[in-house]
Chains A and B, each alone.
Chain A
Amino acid sequence: MILHPGMLALLAASLIIAAMALGGAGLGYQILRRWDPTSGSELQLILERRTTLVSTLLAWAFGLEFLSLFLFAGVADSLHSQFVGAMCAAGVLNASATGYPLLILKMANVLLAGSWLIVNHADTRATDYPLIRAKYVTLLVAAPLLIAEAVLLVLFAGALKPHVITSCCGSLFSSQTETMVGEMAPFPFRPMAIVFLVSLGAVLAAGWHTWKTAKGGILLALLSFAAFIVVLASILSWVGPYVYELPTHHCPFCLLQREYHFIGYPLYGLLFAATVSGMGAGILVPAKRKPSLKMIVPGLQRSCAAASVVLYGLLFLLIAALVATSNLKLL
């Protein structure tokens, strides 16, 4: 068990998020079972009031989930000095079998949470709660995932044991430990850069189209998700080396460190926000069929598309600036 202040904060946040999600899902289940919009009974009125509680609870929980992803990355990075052979968060995540599954689950939860908040926002805009069923069924899926995340985090924190000097021997022979960075097989620079440009060009064009016409939401969502993967792969392949000015250094976590001006935080923050906005435009497509949302959804889709264009644009500019100011020339 590691008693690092950041880890304590992370555990507190994760337990609070899981509790909020569990509470929200419990209320959501009750609402799902007894929901009857045609009834004017007192029960229905109480349930309608409770929907605002669920929305408030989850708006906080999911907002915190987004922040805690970055706290997690930051804590994992700051713990690296306590583990032999760990140069950054990569080594710390590798120190326990739950590290990487936890990171991936957290990333998936952030995307899910963002999408849920967009659907929730659409639902609250209409007067007759048209998306309530879809919303709460998704919540019943999301809550166990968030609880699983809290459990994995507890296991991860429990499994971490800092390497400290023992009295018999002051040396732990650091060099024998393999580091994760070396094992990450990167994609070749040039093809990956081309894929990156094509993918970002496509998502920006689709975003522009949806922004102007409120059509093509599903295509934008698919392209956004594809761009998410492509950008992550590009960071491994060539964005990282450009920032580190070292063609052999492909680590996606060192970007979070002070010596690289914490550039990873805006980079990943933009990526997640852009992806969620782009996906939102597609997720809202089925909602168009609801009569009360017919007039509302196109506006929301355009807002999502506009946000994704701006955010992907900023992400592109940031990466371009990193490449332009780097002393490394790869391409």
Chain B
Amino acid sequence: MALLERQRRLLDFTLSSLLRRKGKNGALVAVYALTIFLLASVLFFGESLRREASIILADAPSLVVQRMMAGRHELIPDSYADQVRSIRGVRSVKPRLWGYYYDPLSGANYTIVTSEERKNGTIAIGSGVASTRKLAVDDVLPLRASKGDTMLFTVAEVLSEESALASADLMIVTPADFREFFAMPAGFATDLIVDSGNPRECSTIAEKIAIRLPDTRPIVREEILRTYDAIFGLRSGMVLAVLACAVIAFLIFAWDKATGLSAEERAEIGILKAVGWDTSDVLLMKFWEGTVISVTAFLAGTALAYAHVFLAGASLFEPALKGWSVIYPAFRPTPVFDPAQIVTIFFLTVVPYIAVTVVPVWRAATIDPDAVMRT
């Protein structure tokens, strides 16, 4: 208990000594917290994008087969579906129709998909489409078809705002309307969705498809997830590497603050040593000083970053980490808390801070009381 009491008293002393120099320490904490805020925002946002992508992809088909021609995505004949169906382990194969539509009125690209459950002549639209074209349910939406004529669709449904990230630019029509609109020949589909029943079989089935139908490319969901993981990791890593300059600037600032002791601080340490403090006591006091500053800045920086990313939608970094588009779904990242990220931020900010202040702190602690008090 005596040990704890000693530390408590030292901490008490350190706090009052820090408060005596509010301006200097306040500036240090502010810059420190800002650096942590920047790094933490990048990490939190990157992680939330990664999570969001994996949540969306969780419902994606486990295996998609696309036909390639001259290195480009081509329509796939229905006969391919039968060949895939004959592979052992395949439970079902469904041809899928989808495409993009450039809307000259709003300058946006829409994604058109099909659903058997809708009625011909009706359309379901995403919230982004609804707001750019100012549409509500039962309005009529004229679209220019491939052959130049205009097709009229009645809006049957506006998709909910909740799924906006995935559905903002979406339009859902029937397969018959889709074929008519894009003048797509019968007997062809955009691609095939393969259900393997057992997810572990997926890559074996993909391998067999690639051998039997050499002009196709099978895309396994796991591979997409892996790619997203790597891309988001890489992007936030790259932004962090750029921010390394900010960290280094902060470290120089911290080094300077720690080295340039004011006459008052030197006198204080001199007096402490004159009244019987040991070098190790001064070191301990300085340790508490660094701890108080780091903990304050760390808590402030990460809390601000959390608010910035999860409450303010990461307005500072959105353009860098996301893509760009005319229709921008409002992206409210789901709050995620990952202890690993807190540790990462700690290692990228507090550890370098400790490293640059060790030597100046030692210099301060070994000040000769006699020399200080003479000056």
Which residues in A have some Cβ–Cβ distance to B below 8 Å? 2-10, 12-13, 16, 19-20, 49, 52-53, 56-57, 60, 64, 67-68, 71, 74-75, 78-79, 81-84, 124, 162-165, 167-176, 262
* B280 lies within 8 A of A68 (CB): no
Given contacts A82-B229, A171-B223, contact A8 B348 (CB under 8 A): yes
Do the beta carbons of B218 and A171 come within 8 Å of each other? yes
State the CA gap A49–B279 with chains docked (Å). Answer: 9
| A3, A5, A7, A84: most-surrounded residue (chain B CB, <10 A) | A5
Q: Is the CB of A164 within 8 A of B227?
A: yes
- In contact, A60 and B354 (Cβ under 8 angstroms): yes
Chain A residues contacting B240 (CB-CB under 8 Å) are 3, 5, 8
The reply to whether the CB of B343 lies closer than 8 angstroms to some CB of chain A is yes
Complex contact B223–A162 (CB within 8 A): no
A-B contact count (CB 8 A): 145
Stretch in B13-21, B132-140, B203-211, B327-335 touching the partner? B203-211
Question: Are the C-beta atoms of B223 and A170 separated by less than 8 Å?
Answer: yes
Q: Are B347 and A71 in contact, CB atoms less than 8 angstroms apart?
A: yes
A13 to B354, CA, bound (A): 11
User: Given A16-B351, A82-B226, A169-B217, are A57 and B358 also a contact pair (CB < 8 Å)?
Assistant: yes
Please determine whether A3 and B355 come into contact, CB atoms closer than 8 angstroms. Answer: no
Residue from the list A13, A75, A165 in contact with B227, Cβ < 8 A: A165
Among residues of A, the one whose C-beta sits closest to the C-beta of B286 is: A56
B223 touches A7 (CB 8 A): no
Which of chain A's residues has its CB closest to B63's CB? A171
Tell whether, in the assembled complex, residue A74 and residue B358 are in contact, meaning their CB atoms are under 8 Å apart.
no
Q: State the Cβ distance, A176 to closest chain B Cβ, in Å.
A: 8
For the complex, would chain A's binding face be called helix, strand, loop or mixed by DSSP majority? helix
Asked if B230 contacts A162 (CB within 8 A), the reply is: yes
A172 closest partner in B (C-beta)? B223
For the complex of A and B, list the 6 residue pairs with the smallest distance between their C-beta atoms, beginning with the closest: A3-B237, A170-B219, A162-B230, A9-B347, A171-B206, A164-B227
Distance between Cα atoms of A53 and B365 in the complex (Å):
10
Q: Which residue of A lies closest to B348 (CB)?
A: A9
Do the beta carbons of B351 and A3 come within 8 Å of each other? no
Task: Confirm or deny: B301 has a beta carbon within 8 angstroms of a beta carbon on chain A.
Answer: no
- Whether A173 pairs with B203 at a CB distance below 8 angstroms is yes
Q: Are A9 and B226 in contact (CB under 8 A)?
A: no
Closest chain A residue, CB of each to CB of B229:
A81
Set of chain B residues within 8 Å of A163, measured between Cβ atoms: 226, 230
Whether the pair A5, B43 counts as a contact (CB closer than 8 A) is yes
Cβ contacts under 8 Å, A4 to chain B: 233-234, 237
Q: Are B226 and A164 in contact (CB under 8 A)?
A: yes
Task: Tell me the chain B residues, 329-375 only, with Cβ under 8 Å from chain A.
Answer: 339-341, 343-345, 347-348, 351-352, 354-355, 358-359, 361-362, 365-366
Main secondary structure of the interface of B (DSSP, over half): helix
Inter-chain CA distance A20–B361, complex, in Å, is 15
* A173, B241: Cα distance in complex, Å: 33
B200, B233, B241, B352 — which one has the most chain A CB atoms within 10 A of its CB? B233
Q: Among the listed B224, B279, B347, B362, which residue makes an inter-chain contact with A165, where contact means beta carbons less than 8 Å apart?
A: B224
Give the complex CA separation of A209 and B11 in angstroms: 37
Kindly state whether residue B231 has any CB partner on chain A within 8 Å: yes
B75 within 8 A of A: no
Task: For A124, give the chain B residue with the smallest CB separation.
Answer: B280
How far apart are the CA atoms of A297 and B236 in the complex, in Å? 50
- Extra 11 A-B pairs, beta carbons < 8 Å, given A16-B355, A170-B217, A171-B206: A3-B240, A4-B234, A5-B237, A8-B237, A49-B366, A79-B233, A163-B226, A163-B230, A170-B66, A170-B220, A173-B207
Judge whether B280 and A52 touch: CB under 8 Å.
yes
Report if B225 contacts A (CB, 8 A): yes
Q: A9-B347, A56-B283 are in contact. Are A78 and B340 (CB under 8 A)?
A: yes
Residues of B with C-beta under 8 A to A83: 226
**Would A71 and B343 count as touching, CB distance under 8 A?**
yes
Does A60 lie within 8 Å of B355, measured CB to CB?
yes
Could you tell me the distance between the alpha carbons of A19 and B359 in the complex, rounded to whole angstroms?
Answer: 13
CA distance A75 to B237 in the complex (A): 13
CA separation between A165 and B354, bound complex, in Å? 41
Q: In the complex, which residues of chain B have a beta carbon less than 8 angstroms from the beta carbon of A174? A: 203, 220, 222-223
**A175 to B283 CA separation, bound complex (whole angstroms):** 56
| A165 with B366, Cβ < 8 A, contacts A68-B347, A173-B207 known | no
Cβ–Cβ < 8 Å partners of A16 in chain B: 351-352, 355
B residues less than 8 Å from A9 (CB atoms): 343-345, 347-348
